[in-house]
């Protein structure tokens, strides 16, 4: 069937604001299920779809509880406490206010000083009585009592009488005991005085924060003990650490090292020793996303060694900060509850690796899969424009239509748009350099510029064609030769014709692919050759076993060949070689075949058509040239305007076929049954030669 009408271009369309998940309803449905069930999940799809940015945009207006996380010291340990928004800050400020009461001025008040002076005076009086009694007794024995830095001593003539020595020892013990009692009474006085000021405030805090009761009791006891013993307090050892307060609860951590993911406790050198305290505790992304969502790049989690730790955290429901080496003195940090939903983002190859782990599927039950393509509808085109405008691109309806055409070309289908929005955004920003607001001409110029940047190899190839370095004909007829079509992969995939030749003779080897024999053919290519052999056996079964050897080769092809899209072209070359009938060289052929002779769709058909069109332009357009392609590929003909115009003017032609016989009649210019009959005659002749029935 000759294809006459190829117009497929997008009409001018006005942009309209786009929802984050336009065209990705499947992904949105899975995501909503994850949030309803508060489960962890992963976003999967090719790069450029904007998976992460779409999720962040979707979550932008979503409300999350903003609980606060406080770490409270308690002896050698520190434990976490989760409080409602604002309560964590209130607890810390309350504790700091309690500390503010504990100052030297607390013991400078008149009431305390008067009570202390009375207590000290009473004990001083008793001490003086003890010393006076000892001095009087010592004087009776001719000795004098002296009090110095070394304590109480007796000096005089001669040895110290035993009874006086015993009296001295007894007095010293009583004096020391009296001093200790005085110190204890003063300590009790200081403690009681501090308690009268601090206890009501501590009790008030306990009433407001009953969950912090054990910590507040421990804190009060430390303060009262310091007051009694006149010791300095160490705030960093006693004060709580407000680890998470307010802030955004949708967190994207681009560098998920274990430290940045789980938090860590830093340390410092103090007086020759490594020490740490709660003030040096740093929150991780799992802490900062508490009550909200944490978004991580899957490949980075794997690369940075955080994956096993993340699995353990999700399995236990706890976030344990990383602690320093054992010799660092400081509190042991208890893990905090994990209250964030975690989503991993990655391309299919990374996610496929993770899905091999059963634990991964248990911990991340929600697969949020993005389609690489979305339906081409007027609404989706308008949403595409809204997305681009949201990214700062100013465009006209014609400019949006041109970009939509490029999205359809990227998808390789007239009824689909490539969903890699950020690749299209890159093109739009480049086009803005040629016209702002962006219009159709600016987009066309950007596309040309991009193709030129990557077009050196194609330019050299066309030059070799003109000079005859590459042997290729686009007019006339030849036996056993056909122009197939391949695609050269690269940043801009390019279609290109390739000369396929076949030679046939008697033998038992069947179809012999030279490219496969030398290791240039891949598995799918090999499958296509075997399928071709299957077609020959089925079509010419009445001849019996095929007594022929047919060699096939892609001429002047020196790289690896993969795919089955040359199956139809190879079959035509084989049938020409067997029948001795020539094939048209002004037609290039693409299409796979099955063993029954059905022509099957292939990939990148638009690039292949355009590639042959460029070659015909370079070698001179004759008006008869064109491409034979599978009928199933008609929706994939997203051709450039110049090719569409050439087809509609009749200077270049496209033929869509469903079966091998249609292609035979186009390429041989004869009825298919006549070609088959010639092939049967040749095969019968080869069989006779092989059986020795004829002499050749």
Distance of CA 433 to the CA centre of its chain: 31
User: Is residue 357 over pLDDT 80?
Assistant: yes
User: Is residue 594 over pLDDT 80?
Assistant: yes
pLDDT of residue 196: 80
pLDDT of residue 576: 97
Out of 12-21, 282-291, 469-478, 520-529, least confident range? 520-529
pLDDT of residue 521: 85
* Orientation of helix 421-432 relative to helix 378-390, angle to 10°: 60
What whole-number distance in Å separates Cα of residue 92 and Cα of residue 694? 107
Which 3 state secondary structure label does DSSP give 15? coil
pLDDT of residue 543: 82
pLDDT of residue 509: 87
Most confident of 159-173, 316-330, 564-578: 564-578
Mean pLDDT of the residues in the chain: 90
pLDDT of residue 544: 78
Biggest alpha carbon–alpha carbon distance for the chain:
160
Q: Report how far apart the first and last C-alpha atoms of the chain are (Å, whole number).
A: 42
What whole-number distance in Å separates Cα of residue 497 and Cα of residue 489? 14
The pLDDT tens digits of the residues spanning 107-150 come to: 666 666 667 677 667 767 777 676 777 677 676 667 777 777 66
pLDDT of residue 696: 44
Question: What does the DSSP 8-state code read for residue 84?
Answer: -
* Residue 693's pLDDT band (cuts 50, 70, 90): low
Question: What does the DSSP 8-state code read for residue 159?
Answer: P
Write b or e for each residue in 633-649: b if 16 or more Cβ atoms lie within 10 A of its Cβ, otherwise e: bbebbbbbeebbebbee
pLDDT of residue 104: 62
What whole-number distance in Å separates Cα of residue 605 and Cα of residue 611? 10
What whole-number distance in Å separates Cα of residue 31 and Cα of residue 42? 9
Average pLDDT over residues 531-546: 87
Average pLDDT over residues 564-591: 96
Provide the phi-psi class of 478: left if phi over 0, else alpha when psi is between -120 and 50, else beta: beta
Specify the residue for token string 């789980």. 262
> Please, which residues have CB within 8 angstroms of residue 520's CB and are 6 or more apart in sequence?
554, 557, 558, 559, 560, 561
Higher pLDDT, 326 or 283: 283
Out of 264-273, 400-409, 550-559, 569-578, least confident range? 264-273
* Residue 670's pLDDT band (cuts 50, 70, 90): very high
Average pLDDT over residues 327-338: 91
* Residue 105's pLDDT band (cuts 50, 70, 90): low
**10 Å Cβ neighbour count for 181?**
12
pTM of the shown model: 0.82
Q: Which backbone phi and psi does 508 adopt, to 5 degrees? A: -125, 10
Provide the phi-psi class of 546: left if phi over 0, else alpha when psi is between -120 and 50, else beta: beta
What whole-number distance in Å separates Cα of residue 113 and Cα of residue 93? 30
Q: Is the separation of the CB atoms in 637 and 605 below 8 Å?
A: yes
The pLDDT tens digits of the residues spanning 624-639 come to: 999 999 999 999 999 9
* Residue 210's pLDDT band (cuts 50, 70, 90): very high
- Write the secondary structure of 93-106 as one string of H (helix), E (strand) and C (coil): HHHHHHHHHCCHHH
538: enclosing H helix or E strand: helix 523-539
Radius of gyration of the chain (CA): 45
Tell me what percent of the chain is helix, strand and coil, each rounded to the nearest 5.
50, 20, 30
Most confident of 219-233, 438-452, 515-529, 548-562: 438-452
Average pLDDT over residues 464-468: 92
Average pLDDT over residues 600-611: 96
pLDDT of residue 250: 96
User: Is residue 578 over pLDDT 60?
Assistant: yes
493 forms beta bridges with: none
pLDDT of residue 189: 74
Token couple for 550: 């047919």
């Amino acid at each position: 069937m000759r294809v006459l009408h190829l117009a497929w271009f997008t009409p001018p369309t006005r942009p309209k604001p786009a929802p984050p998940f336009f065209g990705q309803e499947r992904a949105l449905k899975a995501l909503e299920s994850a949030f309803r069930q508060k489960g962890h999940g992963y976003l999967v799809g090719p790069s450029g779809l904007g998976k992460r940015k779409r999720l962040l945009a979707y979550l932008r207006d979503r409300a999350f509880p903003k609980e606060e996380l406080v770490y409270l010291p308690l002896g050698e340990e520190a434990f976490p406490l989760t409080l409602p928004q604002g309560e964590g800050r209130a607890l810390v400020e309350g504790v700091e206010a309690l500390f503010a009461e504990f100052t030297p001025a607390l013991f400078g008040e008149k009431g305390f000083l008067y009570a202390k002076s009375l207590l000290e005076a009473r004990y001083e009086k008793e001490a003086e009585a003890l010393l006076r009694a000892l001095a009087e007794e010592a004087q009776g024995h001719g000795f004098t009592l002296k009090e110095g830095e070394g304590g109480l001593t007796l000096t005089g003539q001669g040895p110290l009488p035993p009874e006086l020595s015993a009296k001295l020892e007894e007095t010293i013990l009583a004096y020391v005991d009296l001093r200790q009692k005085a110190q204890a009474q003063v300590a009790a006085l200081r403690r009681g005085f501090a308690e009268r000021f601090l206890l009501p405030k501590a009790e008030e805090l306990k009433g407001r924060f009953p969950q912090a009761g054990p910590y507040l009791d421990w804190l009060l006891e430390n303060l009262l003990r310091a007051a009694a013993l006149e010791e300095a307090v160490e705030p960093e050892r006693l004060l709580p650490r407000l680890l998470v307060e307010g802030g955004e609860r949708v967190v994207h951590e681009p560098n998920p090292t274990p430290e940045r993911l789980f938090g860590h406790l830093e340390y410092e050198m103090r007086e020759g020793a490594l020490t740490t305290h709660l003030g040096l505790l740093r929150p991780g992304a799992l802490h900062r996303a508490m009550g909200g969502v944490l978004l991580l790049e899957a490949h980075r989690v794997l690369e940075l060694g955080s994956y096993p730790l993340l699995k353990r955290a999700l399995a236990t429901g706890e976030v344990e900060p990383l602690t320093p080496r054992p010799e660092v003195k400081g509190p042991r940090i208890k893990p905090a509850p994990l209250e964030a939903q975690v989503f991993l983002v990655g391309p299919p190859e990374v996610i496929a690796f993770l899905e091999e782990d059963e634990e991964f599927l248990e911990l991340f039950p929600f697969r949020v899969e993005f389609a690489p393509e979305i339906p081409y509808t007027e609404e989706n085109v308008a949403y595409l424009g809204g997305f681009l405008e949201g990214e700062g691109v100013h465009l006209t309806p014609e400019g949006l239509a041109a970009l939509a055409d490029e999205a359809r070309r990227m998808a390789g289908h007239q009824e689909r748009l490539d969903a890699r929005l950020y690749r299209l955004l890159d093109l739009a920003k480049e086009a803005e350099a040629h016209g702002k607001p962006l219009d159709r001409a600016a987009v066309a110029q950007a596309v040309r510029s991009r193709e030129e940047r990557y077009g050196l190899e194609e330019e050299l190839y066309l030059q070799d064609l003109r000079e005859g370095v590459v042997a290729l004909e686009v007019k006339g007829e030849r036996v056993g030769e056909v122009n197939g079509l391949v695609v050269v992969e690269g940043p801009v995939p390019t279609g290109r014709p390739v000369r396929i030749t076949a030679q046939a003779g008697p033998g038992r080897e069947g179809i012999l692919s030279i490219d496969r024999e030398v290791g240039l053919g891949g598995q799918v290519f090999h499958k296509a050759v075997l399928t071709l052999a299957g077609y020959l056996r089925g079509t010419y079964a009445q001849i019996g076993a095929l007594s022929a050897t047919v060699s096939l080769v892609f001429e002047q092809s020196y790289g690896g060949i993969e795919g089955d899209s040359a199956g139809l072209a190879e079959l035509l070359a084989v049938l020409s070689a067997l029948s001795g009938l020539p094939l048209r060289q002004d037609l290039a052929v693409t299409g796979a075949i099955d063993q029954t002779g059905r022509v099957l769709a292939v990939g990148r058909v638009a690039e292949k058509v355009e590639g042959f069109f460029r070659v015909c332009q370079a070698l001179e357009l004759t008006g008869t040239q064109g491409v034979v392609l599978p009928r199933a590929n008609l929706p994939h003909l997203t051709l450039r305007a110049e090719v569409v115009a050439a087809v509609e003017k009749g200077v270049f032609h496209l033929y869509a076929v469903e079966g091998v016989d249609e292609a035979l009649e186009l390429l041989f210019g004869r009825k298919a049954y006549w070609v088959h009959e010639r092939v049967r005659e040749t095969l019968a002749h080869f069989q006779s030669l092989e059986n020795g029935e004829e002499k050749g």
